[in-house]
Amino acid sequence: MTDKHELETSESACHLSPGSEEPRERFDKNGNRWVKVYTGAGEHFKNWLEQCRQLGEVEVEEANTKGLKCFEGSGEKAYTIWLRIKTEK
């Protein structure tokens, strides 16, 4: 992805800022709507992924962390969770 991310740092973690990972939704070739619900890494990401799987179908893709020293320095990858929004017919 070519998303531009802003960095928030704390003593223990590196986070991608909410709202910085545009676009927030997309449509696949079948017309299904997907909403971006979380972008991050580590245990926090795993927790979000587990919860999202309980809500429905999810897709995970590697996030662009270029320019984020926290991720580049550690070699850790960040991921984005997309949740499929079911439409009632």
pLDDT of residue 14: 62
pLDDT at 89 over 70: no
Distances (CA, A) of 78 to 31, 48, 59, 75, 86: 27, 13, 14, 10, 26
- Range name among 16-30, 44-58, 66-80 with the lowest pLDDT average: 16-30
**Ranges of each domain in the chain:** 7-85
- Round to whole Å and give the CA distance between 81 and 58: 7
Q: Global pTM?
A: 0.72
Q: Residue range 61-87: average pLDDT?
A: 86
